[in-house]
Amino acid sequence: MTRALTRATERPLGRASSPDRPDRHVAAAAVWVSTALAALGGALLETAFPGLSWWWAAPVAIAILLLVLRRDSIPAGLLTGATFGLTFFLLHVWWADSAVGQPIGWIALAASQAAFISAFGGIWVWVRRARWLHHRPGRQILAATVIWVTIERLRGRWPFGGFPWGGLAFSQTDGPLLRLAPVGGTALVSAVVVMSGALMTTLVGTGSARRQAAVGLAVLLGVMSGAQLVRLPVAPEVGTLRIGAVQGNVPSAQIDFRARALQVTANHAAGTGALLDSAGPGTLDLVLWPESAADVDPRSDAVVAAAVDGAARAAGAPILLGTQRFGGQRRFNDYILWEPGAGSLASYTKQHPVPFGEYIPYRSFFRHLTRTVDRVGTDMAAGSGTALVKAPIARLSRSVPLTTVICFEVAYDELVRSSVLAGSEAIIVPTNNASFGRTEESAQQLAMSRFRAAEHGRAVVQISTVGISAVIAPDGAVRQRTGLFTGEQLIDELPLRTSLTVADRLGSWPGLLVDLAGAVLLGSAVLGRARRRSSR
């Protein structure tokens, strides 16, 4: 069966050796087989992410994709990649349908991301034609890995700031490869996933290539097994931080903006009271509220300020909370530090607003396609600086620097890393998942928070308006978590850490080296094609 499958995927797409009808039927059947396999691989890749979190499915899915891409046809490669990518992203980001309220946003997002996987398919078929790659499985494995990671990194940066959601590294938080996060971050973990899949594909071959792939896969599995035994450091280095996190929930009834915002703030104030019933007044160093806990800005609204300050005074501790600030025709997503009796002393402004969710690029153009763009009435503008807030902690007699990436920003490598390099001792991820219903969006975000914990060796608190909220140890293990659409509180003592991981010290270099290698591969393919043309 394996040999038959290989012959079917290796037959050139749409290219028959004779005009005989049976040959055309075989070619058409090969197209359907390739398309079905690509769709199967995309669906399998989704199972590697929450909620199933079958981490092993990711390399198997990549193996299926590379197997189908053995056909020496660039159009077939583009089609295969598009089918694989569209199947995966339609499943992975279907929460966008819930957020937008119409399928056009979900389909457009999935299609735009699938275009990158389609590009991978076409580029891989084109690049591997180079003489130095032809019939050299070892080199092909490395080349496929480099091209995938290069395109994945491009997808995370462009267009409109990129969309790193669905990166292979974030599928590995329940597997042994999480231990590689503090070594090389997302670039290394994604690369190992692709390399594993490429080795599996080579096993379908024959002769020495098959034997070499078996040895390579055995070595890789040995490394993964050994990595599982590695214990990442979790002990505090500069003390601990006693935190209380409040998930206040949101009203289910449809009410006007101000009434809804005041109710959400009241929920979090009441949740703080429930938190103190468990912890006791004066026992907490810091209280955490989520993004959008006070959509009416307490810095300019006396009613909201009284609610926030009352909760802070009752806790006897500062509160970190999310709010919105309006200026002219723009709004800003702020995470502010509120001191009891003193008000807001510090803040961070979100730097990566979500395109088509928090602002509409080229609004007049996209309005011709759909009027749903006008659901975003006032565009959110980007902030600047480092995602870091220093919280004064009386018990420690010092200010504790905390990473404060907001919601989707946890997916951006550089934004989190820069705050850790600036001195962050723990990571806070305030988020508002109310628009995504009971989808896997919040669980997917939790997987990213877990990856960041292990990558940087920092405790992480993901605090949401409606869940999932969680406290995560510096090795990525979940210590506590909440459910969806509940009012709950978390109390924990975070280990504060200052040491830097290898990934922190290397910074962006691993990714930049992969980008350079990808550019070299593309350049060599272009030069090789030019030489072949000139020789003809």
Q: Which residues are catalytic?
A: 291, 350, 407
- Quickly tell me which residue has 């891989």 as its tokens: 124
For residues 138 and 198, the answer to whether their CB atoms sit within 8 Å is: no
Nearest alpha carbon to residue 415 among 512, 469, 510, 350: 350
Q: How many CB atoms lie within 10 A of CB 205?
A: 15
SS3 415: helix
Q: State how far the Cα of 506 lies from the Cα of 318, in Å rounded to an integer.
A: 35
| Residue pair 100/84 in contact by the 8 Å Cβ criterion | no
Secondary structure of 240-251 as H, E, C letters: EEEEEEEECCCC
Query: Largest Cα–Cα distance in the chain?
Result: 86
- Least Cα distance to 336 among 297, 369, 367 occurs for 297
**What crossing angle do the helices spanning 103-127 and 74-92 adopt, rounded to 10°?**
150
Which amino acid belongs to residue 412?
A: Y
Return the H-helix or E-strand segment holding 125. helix 103-127
Among residues 170, 240, 227, which one has the least CA distance to residue 395? 240
254 class by beta-carbon count within 10 Å (0-12 exposed, 13-18 middle, 19+ buried): exposed
User: Which strands sit side by side in the sheet containing 488-495, from one edge to the other?
Assistant: 343-349, 330-339, 319-327, 286-288, 240-247, 488-495
Q: Are 440 and 53 in contact (CB under 8 A)?
A: no
The span from the CA of 86 to the CA of 88, in Å, is 5
